Amino acid sequence: MHRQLLLLGLLRREDMHGYRLNEFIERDMAFCTDIKKPTAYYLLDRLADEGYLAEVDDPEPADGRPPRKTFGITPEGERRFAELLRQNLQAVDAPTFPVDMSIAFLDALPPGEALALLHAREAALRARLESIRETPGHRSGALRLVVDHHITYLECELDWLAEVIAWVETQDADQEGPST
Amino acid sequence: MHRQLLLLGLLRREDMHGYRLNEFIERDMAFCTDIKKPTAYYLLDRLADEGYLAEVDDPEPADGRPPRKTFGITPEGERRFAELLRQNLQAVDAPTFPVDMSIAFLDALPPGEALALLHAREAALRARLESIRETPGHRSGALRLVVDHHITYLECELDWLAEVIAWVETQDADQEGPST
DNA sequence: TTTTCCATGTAACTCGTTACATGATTTC
DNA sequence: GAAATCATGTAACGAGTTACATGGAAAA
């Protein structure tokens, strides 16, 4: 559903063909969406079938290039967009973190190995945080807020991971015995 | 994949039949997993087919009750469990937040309505945070860490939401004109 | 001359959900 | 007598992904 919203939202700003759309999404939105090319093409056709998009004439057809299907949003599409926007903004999704399942059974691992894996995870999260911080563009406008969302989230993940690591370390110490 | 891990992890502690397993998951793990009953039954059979689980005799068959299939983990299941645990702990998933798509197009909404929706969202998040804070049990052990994960996450969501609200408010003020 | 770019798709598949089916037994 | 509890499942569906297909043009 947020995928439809994305496509409608982008086409609301400018008519585009699938290839350009996918290019833009890959370059500028990859950090916040996971829509894949075939899905985008499929959804474009479906949204057009449903009357939310309409195929328009290619404003600058390039010769010796495959023909392209340029889409524009229709008035019904605008209405649909607003509807999805409100729905999506109100929906409070309960996210699930796959890693939680590992944490729940962390005692099944030798503490040493657990710590090594957790530190590796920490490094990976830090790397991602850096790469998002260094992302060019998105310096202004609403997209900045989305970048901030991911930065805030990664920082919170790191805080929590530190807590997990501390916990494993105390477990480890307890196991060695406080008598040592 | 984290679903398999969950089932194997729980059956590692104690032999169980599907119904009890589902009961436990609904009562004590609903806040961190979204596995549904039919999925659990299906996965139990599949894991058994693959040799990771084995059907064992019901230790206390109740009379006048439907027969139940009690599963226990096999040595291969133990190995599989450890493998999934390591895999899952190392995998750094790039989460996508559906709400980001709304935020990216927030300017399409009248600022007043946007603020109302954002405040409603804030209230919903706060309610969830409270309900998790008041969750009984999970006070000790690894599950406590998982609860903390969700608390930390919701707090970070609230921080970020406040930032979004502030941004919309400045946008609104700018639009009214700094001359007023 | 092989690779990359442009541009669109399809077919098969995976994973999971929803809604429903069954049937005895206990509780209201 | 109706509803909830116990216990297991199936069938149909939906959303999305992967891998592949196509075919000309430009760049390496």
* Beta-carbon separation of B124 and A92 below 8 A: yes
Contact indicator for B86, A117 with CB cutoff of 8 Å? yes
* Beta-carbon separation of B104 and A143 below 8 A: yes
Tell me, yes or no, whether B17 and B59 share the same domain. yes
Tell me, yes or no, whether A61 and A85 share the same domain. yes
Q: Is B175 a member of any domain?
A: no
B17 touches strand D (CB under 7 A): yes
* Beta-carbon separation of B97 and A99 below 8 A: no
CA of A144 vs chain B CAs: smallest distance (Å): 9
CATH code of A18's domain: 1.10.10.10
Q: Is A71 a member of any domain?
A: yes
Residue with CA nearest C23 C1'? B66
Collapsing DSSP to helix, strand or coil, B62 comes out as coil
Tell me, yes or no, whether B32 and B59 share the same domain. yes
A66 touches strand D (CB under 7 A): yes
DSSP letter (8 states) at residue A61: P
Tell me, yes or no, whether A121 and A68 share the same domain. no
How are strands ordered across the β-sheet holding B53-56? B16-17, B70-73, B53-56
Q: Which of A91, A101, A145 is nearest to B149 (CA)?
A: A101
Q: What is the pLDDT of residue B177?
A: 64
CA of B63 vs chain A CAs: smallest distance (Å): 34
Tell me, yes or no, whether A105 and A79 share the same domain. no
Read off the pLDDT of residues A44-87 as tens digits, 9 standing for 90 and up: 999 999 999 999 998 887 777 889 999 999 999 999 999 999 99
Between residues 111 and 140 of chain A, which touch chain B (CB distance below 8 Å)?
117-118, 120-121, 124-125, 128
Tell me, yes or no, whether A140 and A123 share the same domain. yes
Q: Which of B58, B90, B122 is the last residue of a domain?
A: B90
Helix, strand, coil content of chain B in percent (nearest 5)? 65, 5, 30
Q: Is A138 a member of any domain?
A: yes
Q: Is A65 a member of any domain?
A: yes
Contact indicator for B70, B59 with CB cutoff of 8 Å? yes
Tokens of B45: 């059979």
Tell me, yes or no, whether B134 and B112 share the same domain. yes
Say which residues have a Cβ less than 8 Å from residue A160's Cβ, sequence separation at least 6. B145, B148, B149, B152, B153
DSSP string, B11-61: HHHS-EEHHHHHHHIIIIITTT----HHHHHHHHHHHHHTTSEEEE--SSP
- B137 vs B126: CA distance, rounded Å: 20
* Beta-carbon separation of B97 and A94 below 8 A: no
Instruction: Tell me how long chain A is.
Output: 180
A35 touches strand D (CB under 7 A): yes
Tokens of A141: 């406008």
Tell me, yes or no, whether A76 and A106 share the same domain. no
Contact indicator for A149, B160 with CB cutoff of 8 Å? yes
- A18 vs A103: CA distance, rounded Å: 41
A33 touches strand D (CB under 7 A): no
Say which residues have a Cβ less than 8 Å from residue A123's Cβ, sequence separation at least 6. none
Q: Over its length of 180 residues, how does chain A's per-residue pLDDT go in tens digits? A: 999 999 999 999 999 999 999 999 999 999 999 999 999 999 999 999 999 999 999 888 777 788 999 999 999 999 999 999 999 999 998 999 999 999 999 999 999 999 999 999 999 999 999 999 988 767 778 999 999 999 999 999 999 999 999 999 998 777 666 655
Tell me, yes or no, whether A10 and A72 share the same domain. yes
Number of domains in chain B: 2
Q: What is the pLDDT of residue B180?
A: 52
Judging contacts by C-beta atoms under 8 Å, the chain A residues touching residue B143 are 104
CA–C1' distance B37–C19 (Å)?
Answer: 13
Q: Which of B43, B68, B90 is the last residue of a domain?
A: B90
Residue of B nearest to A34 (CA): B96
Q: Is A111 a member of any domain?
A: yes
Tell me, yes or no, whether A136 and A166 share the same domain. yes
The boundaries of the domain holding residue A136 are: 99-170
Q: Which of A90, A108, A136 is the last residue of a domain?
A: A90
Judging contacts by C-beta atoms under 8 Å, the chain A residues touching residue B26 are none
Residue with CA nearest D19 C1'? A38
Q: Is B179 a member of any domain?
A: no
Nucleotide nearest to B42 (CA to C1'): D9
Q: For chain B, which ranges sit under pLDDT 70?
A: 137, 175-180
CA–C1' distance A53–C4 (Å)?
Answer: 31
Q: Is B68 a member of any domain?
A: yes
Tell me, yes or no, whether B105 and B54 share the same domain. no
Tell me, yes or no, whether B14 and B59 share the same domain. yes
Collapsing DSSP to helix, strand or coil, A117 comes out as helix
Q: Is A178 a member of any domain?
A: no
Q: What is the pLDDT of residue B11?
A: 98
